[in-house]
Amino acid sequence: MTRRRIALATSAAYPRLAPDDRLVLAPLGARDVCAEPAVWDDPSVRWEAYDAVVVRSCWDYHLRPDAFAGWVGRLTALGVPLWNPPATLHWNARKTYLRDLARAGVGTVPTAWVDASCDDTLAALLAARGWAEAVVKPVVSASAHRTWRVTAADAPAHEAEFRAALAHGDAMVQPYLDAVAADGEWSLVFLGGAFSHAALKRPRAGDFRVQAEHGGSAEPATPSLGIVAQAESIVRRFAAGCVYARVDGVVTDDTLRLMELELVEPSLFLGLHPDAPGRFARAIADVL
């Protein structure tokens, strides 16, 4: 068997990959796949020298979305196989994909989509929807970047912040979900289209963000078969052909309400399950 060489695309902050992603290197090697980290915006990288590129810890793409889209386009023009697929990366990089899922009948969080042309104040947006508390976030964002929580009572005082956010790009406003702090947010990881494992994420006391960089935590957990089936249906419909997918949401009365379908650069929590790195390696090897 010919030994294949692939790049695991990362960011300058993680030139050797994030620790969790490094767990897949040995299982890939055991499958005759030589995987090397490569910083996505490093001009010295010869991407055409690789048999394929798998997007991993590119956790700064949201800071330069046009540059990232251009990079995806260049690899496509070079004929370098890219996973997840280029069309998926372009679509999923903007959270407006959630609007597509909602229109297709997927249970998502209600969302007000706003841009700089919006005449409504933040207070008016919340009042019109009857939201006592809400979360504001950019349409292109990762790791809760520029994401903040606001109450209806405090909204007038945050109008300048709201307008400043819109000056940077389109935004979305969603009702704050008590279930995230009370019950946790689920992340169901799919590798090669099959369910692999799950994590239950919780924010630190007094916060609403579940990301580790904001003090959040993640622990292995086992969702019900019904929740797995609901997540699997979403992956089958909207992430076909993807090497990896992460379905994030809250569960109420054994019903999954989708918060994110992560297909660009999600943490896959490989360290939370002993078989996960091997499963990821198999999924990558299969598409090679």
Choose one of 158, 176, 194: the last residue of a domain.
Answer: 176
Is residue 211 within 8 A of residue 149, CB to CB? The reply is: no
pLDDT at 138 over 60: yes
Same domain, 244 and 116: no
Does the CA dihedral 177-183-187-193 come out positive or negative?
negative
Q: What is the mean pLDDT of the chain?
A: 92
What does the pLDDT average to over 4-29?
97
Cα distances from 11 to residues 8, 40, 275, in angstroms, run: 10, 6, 26
Q: What is the pLDDT of residue 216?
A: 65
Cα distances from 27 to residues 38, 85, 283, in angstroms, run: 18, 22, 11
Asked whether residue 27 is domain-assigned, the answer is yes
Q: By percentage, how much of the chain surpasses pLDDT 70?
A: 93
Determine the structural domain holding residue 164 and report its residue range: 112-176
Same domain, 246 and 226: yes
Is residue 76 within 8 A of residue 90, CB to CB? The reply is: no
Choose one of 136, 160, 176: the last residue of a domain.
Answer: 176
pLDDT at 252 over 90: no
Q: What is the pLDDT of residue 133?
A: 92
Asked whether residue 270 is domain-assigned, the answer is no
pLDDT in tens, 43-79: 999 999 999 999 999 999 999 999 999 999 999 999 9
* Helix (H), strand (E) at residue 246: strand 244-252
Same domain, 40 and 151: no
Asked whether residue 141 is domain-assigned, the answer is yes
Token duo for residue 28: 């890939």
pLDDT at 271 over 70: yes
pLDDT in tens, 191-215: 999 999 999 988 766 556 556 655 6
Q: What is the pLDDT of residue 81?
A: 97
Left, alpha or beta for 146 (phi > 0: left; psi -120 to 50: alpha)?
Answer: left
pLDDT in tens, 153-182: 999 999 998 988 888 889 999 998 887 777
Check residues 178 and 189 and name the one with the higher pLDDT: 189
Rounded CA gap, 286 and 288, in Å?
5
Asked whether residue 52 is domain-assigned, the answer is yes
Q: What is the CATH number of the domain that holds 166?
A: 3.30.1490
Same domain, 102 and 233: yes
Say how many domains are in the chain. Answer: 3
pLDDT at 146 over 90: no
Q: What is the DSSP letter of 149?
A: E
Same domain, 29 and 134: no
Q: What is the pLDDT of residue 116?
A: 78
